[in-house]
């Protein structure tokens, strides 16, 4: 069984029409999981047999709007989702800051690839200019309990919309650091990085593809524990093995 996690920002003029199409396509491929569709793009977590899942992804990428879709894959011994849900939402992840999307500004927030971050962490938590690197966890407390980067700044939040207020007491301490926002698959740290830069924090990068991409590319260097995922596997270790089979 193959699991796919992906998101992509793009203008969707008819979210309901796209949602109906994706529901039919995923259902025909016997995939299960969740797909969120909004005017700003899509966010999906799906699982199924390898060939139908890859065929679904290939068909989605054939749409010019999703040609650049980046997918994180992992394996499991059984289907981790109970059913297929395709929903239309105001955002592909709720944040309630309308400008915190690459569609509203001049592109994405600057990012850092996993290999470069691993090198920074391996050289004492300093970037190439000698500045201290602060890992900012944009996930909620339940997720953080399963694992996070060593020494990361974690916030007492239960939902992503609480992040701006929870970050406020830490802003002065972050002023002279290189801040790397991270999350599970990239979408929350992307929105958080955009919002922080718009709010005057020009020293923020996003971890490209989130923790799952970091695990896939470099393993668990600097990370302690597992990464919580939103399905019956509960969490994945740095080798992308599920906590619950």
Looking at the annotation, which residues are catalytic? 183
Adjacent-strand bridge partners of 8: 42
Q: How far is CA 233 from the centre of its chain?
A: 17
Q: What sign has the CA pseudo-torsion 100, 45, 183, 218?
A: negative
**CB burial class (10 A; 0-12, 13-18, 19+) of residue 210?**
buried
Helix (H) / strand (E) element for 131: namely none
DSSP 233: T
Q: Phi/psi class of residue 225: alpha, beta or left (left: φ > 0; alpha: ψ in -120 to 50)?
A: left
Helix (H) / strand (E) element for 42: namely strand 41-48
Q: What sign has the CA pseudo-torsion 169, 159, 22, 77?
A: positive
Instruction: Give the largest Cα separation in the chain, rounded.
Output: 53
Q: What gap in Å lies between CA 95 and CA 89, rounded to an integer?
A: 12
| DSSP string computed for 94-119 | ----TT-STTTTTSPPPEE-HHHHHH
């Amino acid at each position: 069984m193959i699991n796919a996690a992906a998101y992509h920002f793009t203008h969707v003029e008819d979210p309901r029409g796209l949602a109906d199409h994706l529901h039919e396509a995923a259902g025909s491929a016997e995939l299960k999981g969740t797909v969120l569709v909004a005017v700003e793009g899509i966010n999906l977590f799906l699982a199924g047999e390898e060939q139908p899942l890859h065929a679904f992804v290939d068909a989605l990428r054939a749409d010019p709007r999703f040609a650049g879709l980046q997918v994180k894959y992992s394996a499991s011994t059984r289907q981790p989702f109970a059913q297929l849900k395709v929903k239309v939402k105001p955002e592909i992840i709720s944040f309630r800051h309308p400008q915190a999307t690459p569609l509203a500004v001049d592109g994405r927030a600057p990012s850092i690839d996993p290999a470069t971050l691993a090198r920074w962490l391996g050289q004492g938590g300093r970037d190439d200019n000698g500045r201290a690197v602060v890992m900012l966890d944009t996930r909620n407390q339940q997720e953080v309990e399963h694992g996070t980067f060593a020494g990361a700044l974690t916030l007492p939040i239960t939902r992503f919309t609480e992040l701006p207020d929870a970050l406020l007491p830490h802003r002065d301490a972050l002023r002279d650091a290189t801040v790397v926002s991270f999350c599970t698959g990239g979408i929350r740290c992307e929105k958080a990085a955009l919002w922080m830069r718009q709010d005057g924090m020009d020293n923020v990068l996003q971890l490209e593809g989130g923790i799952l991409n970091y695990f896939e590319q470099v393993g668990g260097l600097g990370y302690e524990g597992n990464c919580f995922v939103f399905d019956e596997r509960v969490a994945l270790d740095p080798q992308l093995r599920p906590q619950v089979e």
